Amino acid sequence: MTAVALTIAGSDSGGGAGIQADLKTFAANEVFGTSVITALTAQNTQGVSAIHDVPLVFIVGQMDAIFSDFEVAAVKIGMLSRVETIRLIASELRRRSAPHIVLDPVMVATSGDRLLQEDAVAALRTELMPLAEIVTPNLHEAAALTGKPFARNEQEMEAQARDIFAFGPRWVLVKGGHGTGDEAVDLLVGGDGAVTRVRGRRIDTKNTHGTGCTLSSAIAAHLARGASPSDAVRAAKDYVTGAIAAADQLKVGHGHGPLNHFYKSWSTP
């Protein structure tokens, strides 16, 4: 049986993040990708100029279409934007007993544009985090979720990960990509209390649009293929590091360009 993953997220018209990045990542990691679009964005490498939320009834229609026909092995959740959407998605996933949920708490785009309304943060904590197998906040998102300052070191990252763990997910991955140093170190905290350092080299490039979407989708892809959470995180980290390293090979847009999702199979442009 072909492994199927589902992304529930917003569309990026520029193709670098959101649904588009998720589907590219699923394909690159050898799973069949399906999607439920929660919002449309007018977006490119330079920023987000408009957001149009998809009507709730149509979100349900998309979920009905997917779950009535496909054996979904893992779910990635990205941009949801509104409280109403968060509550609906949580209700639908509970009703369907969806497996292996990876929650990327998308709040701000690489360009700095806010993608999650202020009142939706609390709903994210209470409605979706208890359903998640893995939550994948970056340093800015971890600070927003915990109400603490931006983490300056691994000790503060770990403390915020444990605070987020208290909201109900089974694993928390706090990503260190916005930190400093030669290595980009992520911290994975699980139910047994153990902390795993997931390391990758830090790459000097402005072309990092869609990094968070890509990492969470890669984790979901490996969970769909049967990997353990820790193995899925490590494999996803390796894939994203390679995609960032090859990002400058793509010559698209005039701002923060996308990762090179197909660096393993494309010849150098």
User: What amino acid occupies position 260?
Assistant: N
* Cα–Cα distance, 201 to 218 (Å, whole number): 18
Continuous segment of H or E residues that includes residue 154: helix 154-165
* Other residues' Cβ atoms within 10 Å of the Cβ of residue 95: 10
Cβ atoms of 129 and 164 closer than 8 Å:
yes
Kindly give the interhelix angle for 211-224 and 18-28, rounded to the nearest 10 degrees. 40
* Cα–Cα distance, 133 to 229 (Å, whole number): 8
Q: Which residues are catalytic?
A: 175, 208, 210-213
Q: By C-alpha distance, which of 173, 236, 220 is closest to 76?
A: 220
DSSP 207: -
What is the dihedral sign for C-alpha 194, 172, 32, 72? positive
DSSP 2: -
* Other residues' Cβ atoms within 10 Å of the Cβ of residue 108: 16
Q: Are strands 32-44 and 101-103 parallel, antiparallel or unpaired?
A: unpaired
Cβ atoms of 70 and 2 closer than 8 Å:
no
Cβ atoms of 107 and 114 closer than 8 Å:
yes
